[in-house]
């Protein structure tokens, strides 16, 4: 048994000193194992996020060296009317996505959670949109919705004949619907998983008590899915701050400012108008909104998690 | 003899460890209870959504086989009257294979880096209770809550300063970095389910950190690694912002960006664009057909718990 070290390890590292006895007993590895991830994530995610705050106080075109400017960019952000337009659009996309994706995903998730030939087949197909890149989805819909050669020229689809993406009154709704088409599968999967964890005994008890299907859906399924609802909503909320590529390819933020969400505003300000300082202000605001919203939702989800577990008993 | 003692525990306890991912299997049988009654409104709703999902896909596919002339004369949902592969040939001729190769290189490199450094970190977070490792986990969780895209301008600055702008490495590094939070969370959730006694007994046998990593953590976490690898691959493969901001030349162009530039080059050639869209989907659809279970597990693993 004394030859263990050499036989177990193909790698012959020296044995550790007794100073780390406690850690060794638990079998935990050295903290050095954190280093590669820390360097990569720290260097290319956390540091840049902090860098955005610094850059927001500079003037920089993207070439050369950033020049210190002070609070001018922040003043611009607060006074520019476009800021409030884009904030409004961002939240419209957020709430629109919650309202459209939430109920559809929950109903589909509940439906495909149970086995059956057609359901399994449908589940297979439902998933496909999620596999496509946002660029692909955007290009497909951009052309599909074209009033001149798109789907509306098919017999029976004449009601689709409208310049959906060119009309500033309809473009935002269309964007929200296309985003839903793309991301409903993800949330359907979450709900499917959630439904499958609901104990069947709850339904048995309810049907003995004479509760109908619809009654069971609202008194058992929905309350039991509370945690899934919060998870899915958090993903939609944080996701709304990142739906950049799909909108960029489909409408480029237009017509006018009609679909200029905050991340797109950041990109266009920074890389099209060469105002990296101003764009960094938008980046900082994006991070702040994301942090506030997800902290609020996490707090709420912790609460509801406990509650739903109690209700499950 | 000692070799067997150190390997045995792994083999013996493997079934309970691999149990979590298949946890849903026994549960899945339960629902047959409900399907005694067919859910007619559910079936109708499901069929409706199926139509909504299929029509655009069908349109993209059939359009990609139409010639530029029949595209305007055929009804959008009819089968192509003169099916042609010309669009695919055109896409191939415009450098598709190069973009495809770039996408493959970036995806594989970013995923391997992300999964490897995340496995090291997850192993530490799951097994080392030091305050540093707990803080690291909090930071990782925070990383999930923040729209990381906001870091794009400083990333652009840093990579330009490093002379990496317009290289594949400029895509690989940040893609790997951004994949770390979700990867660590999924792996930590998984590694925490491995019984602590396995680690303790291996440690008592004198195993080093690296030995435990190769002989215990790596083999046991394979299902989770595949899951998280596929999940990240999907994200990197479809990523658009990094290529858009950090590259410029066609020689380092990846597929999603290529699609976008096809659109600006071909504008009115819709069948050509759709052929490019179809070709960009093929690798992921293939992956879906062969690795559907892992892919689905991967997409929910991070959020399901």
- Chain A CB contacts of B268 under 8 Å are none
Are B150 and A290 inside 8 Å of each other by CB? yes
- Mean pLDDT value of segment A143-163: 78
Same domain, B229 and B282: yes
ipTM of the complex: 0.80
* Model confidence band, residue A296 (pLDDT cutoffs 50, 70, 90): confident
> Does residue A290 register a pLDDT over 50?
yes
How does pLDDT run across B89-142, given as a tens digit for each residue? 888 888 888 999 999 999 999 999 999 999 988 888 887 778 787 888 888 877
- Chain A CB contacts of B200 under 8 Å are 25-27
Element (H, E) at A58: strand A58-59
> What is the tally of structural domains in chain A?
1
Look at residue A100 in the predicted model and tell me its pLDDT.
93
Look at residue A11 in the predicted model and tell me its pLDDT.
40
Decide which of B270 and A74 is more confident: A74
A141: nearest Cα among A154, A150, A152, A128? A150
Q: A228, A194 in Cβ contact below 8 A?
A: yes
Beta bridge partners of A58: A68
Look at residue A262 in the predicted model and tell me its pLDDT.
92
Q: A153, B76 in Cβ contact below 8 A?
A: yes
Q: A268, A160 in Cβ contact below 8 A?
A: no
Contacts (Cβ under 8 Å, ≥6 apart) of A233: A98, A102, A297
Q: For the domain that residue A118 is a member of, what is the CATH number?
A: 1.10.3720.10
Q: Which domain holds residue A194?
A: 87-312
How does pLDDT run across A201-248, given as a tens digit for each residue? 888 888 888 878 888 888 888 888 888 888 888 888 888 888 888 999
- Mean pLDDT value of segment A176-189: 91
> What is the tally of structural domains in chain B?
2
Contacts (Cβ under 8 Å, ≥6 apart) of B107: B233, B236, B237
- Chain B CB contacts of A62 under 8 Å are 156
> Quick one: closest CA in B to A152, which residue?
B76
In a domain, A19, yes or no: no
Low-confidence ranges of chain B (pLDDT < 50): 1-36, 304-305
What mean pLDDT is reported for chain A? 80
Q: For the domain that residue B150 is a member of, what is the CATH number?
A: 1.10.3720.10
Within 10 angstroms of residue A207's Cβ, the number of other Cβ atoms is 15
Decide which of B153 and A296 is more confident: B153
Distance CA A115, CA B245 (A): 45
Look at residue B267 in the predicted model and tell me its pLDDT.
67
Look at residue B103 in the predicted model and tell me its pLDDT.
93
A220: nearest Cα among A234, A240, A200? A200
In a domain, A10, yes or no: no
Same domain, B71 and B27: no
Sign of the C-alpha dihedral computed for residues B231, B233, B237 and B240 taken in this order: positive
A94: nearest Cα among A167, A169, A165, A175? A175
* Model confidence band, residue A96 (pLDDT cutoffs 50, 70, 90): very high
Distance CA B180, CA B191 (A): 16
Same domain, B167 and B204: yes
In a domain, A67, yes or no: no
Decide which of A307 and A254 is more confident: A254
Alpha helix ranges (H) inside A145-225: 171-196, 200-208, 213-216, 222-224
Q: Which domain holds residue B69?
A: 38-84
Same domain, B205 and B227: yes
- Mean pLDDT value of segment A95-116: 88
Look at residue A149 in the predicted model and tell me its pLDDT.
78
Q: Which two tokens stand for residue A226?
A: 């509370």
Q: Please, which residues 5-44 of chain A have a Cβ atom closer than 8 Å to chain B?
A: 5, 7-11, 13, 15-16, 23-31, 33-34, 36-38, 40-41, 43-44
Whether the CB of A240 is below 8 Å from some CB of chain B: the reply is no
Decide which of A122 and B114 is more confident: B114
Q: Single out the residue in B23, B57, B84 at which a domain terminates.
A: B84
Same domain, B209 and B70: no
Q: A144, A232 in Cβ contact below 8 A?
A: no
Decide which of A73 and B37 is more confident: A73
């Amino acid at each position: 048994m004394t030859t263990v070290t050499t036989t177990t390890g193909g790698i012959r590292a020296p044995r550790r000193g007794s100073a780390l006895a406690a850690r060794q007993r638990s079998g935990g590895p050295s903290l050095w194992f954190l280093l590669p991830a820390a360097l990569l994530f720290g260097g290319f995610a956390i540091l840049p996020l902090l860098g955005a705050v610094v850059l927001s106080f500079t003037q920089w075109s993207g070439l050369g060296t950033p020049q210190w400017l002070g609070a001018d960019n922040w003043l611009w952000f607060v006074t520019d009317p476009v800021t409030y337009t884009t904030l409004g659009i961002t939240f419209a996309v957020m709430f629109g996505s919650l309202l459209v994706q939430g109920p559809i995903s929950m109903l589909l998730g509940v439906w495909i959670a149970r086995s059956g030939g057609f359901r399994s087949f449908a589940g297979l197909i439902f998933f496909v949109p999620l596999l496509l890149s946002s660029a692909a989805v955007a290009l497909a819909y951009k052309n599909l919705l074209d009033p001149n050669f798109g789907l509306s020229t098919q017999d029976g689809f004449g009601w689709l004949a409208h310049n959906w993406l060119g009309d500033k009154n309809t473009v935002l709704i269309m964007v929200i619907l296309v985003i839903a088409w793309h991301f409903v599968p993800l949330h359907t999967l979450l709900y499917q998983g959630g439904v499958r964890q609901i104990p069947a005994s709850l339904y048995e008890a309810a049907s003995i008590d004479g509760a109908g299907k619809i009654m069971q859906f609202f008194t058992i399924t929905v309350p039991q899915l509370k945690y899934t609802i919060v998870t899915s909503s958090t993903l939609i909320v944080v996701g709304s701050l990142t739906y950049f590529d799909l909108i960029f390819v489909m409408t480029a933020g237009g017509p006018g400012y009609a679909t200029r969400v905050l991340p797109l505003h950041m990109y266009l300000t920074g890389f099209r108008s060469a105002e990296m300082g101003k764009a960094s202000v938008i980046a900082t605001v994006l991070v702040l909104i994301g942090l506030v919203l997800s902290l609020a939702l996490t707090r709420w989800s912790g609460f509801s998690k406990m509650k739903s577990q109690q209700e499950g008993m | 003899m000692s070799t067997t003692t150190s390997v045995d525990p792994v083999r013996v306890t493997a079934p309970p460890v691999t149990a979590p991912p298949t946890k849903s299997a026994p549960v899945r049988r339960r629902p047959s209870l409900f399907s005694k009654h067919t859910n007619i409104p559910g079936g109708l709703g499901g069929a409706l959504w199926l139509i909504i999902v299929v029509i655009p896909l069908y349109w993209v596919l059939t359009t990609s086989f139409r010639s530029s002339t029949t595209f305007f004369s055929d009804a959008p949902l009819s089968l192509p009257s003169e099916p042609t592969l010309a669009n695919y040939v055109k896409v191939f001729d415009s450098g598709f294979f190069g973009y495809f190769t770039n996408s493959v290189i970036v995806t594989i490199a970013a995923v391997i880096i992300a999964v490897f450094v995340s496995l090291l970190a997850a192993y530490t977070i799951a097994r080392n209770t030091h305050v540093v490792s707990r803080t690291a986990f909090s930071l990782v969780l925070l990383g999930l809550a923040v729209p990381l895209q906001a870091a794009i301008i400083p990333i652009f600055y840093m990579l330009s300063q490093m002379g990496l702008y317009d290289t594949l490495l400029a895509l690989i590094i940040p893609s790997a970095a951004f994949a770390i939070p979700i990867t660590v969370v999924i792996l930590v959730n998984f590694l925490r389910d491995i019984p602590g006694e396995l680690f303790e007994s291996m440690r008592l046998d004198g195993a080093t950190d690296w030995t435990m990593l190769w002989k215990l953590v790596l083999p046991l976490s394979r299902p989770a690694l595949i899951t998280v690898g596929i999940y990240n691959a999907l994200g990197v493969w479809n990523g658009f912002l990094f290529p858009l901001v950090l590259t410029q030349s066609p020689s380092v162009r990846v597929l999603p960006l290529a699609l976008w530039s096809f659109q600006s080059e071909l504008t009115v050639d819709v069948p050509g664009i759709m052929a490019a869209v179809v070709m960009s989907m093929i690798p992921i659809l293939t992956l879906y057909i062969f690795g559907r279970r892992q892919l689905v597990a991967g997409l929910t693993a991070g959020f399901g718990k």
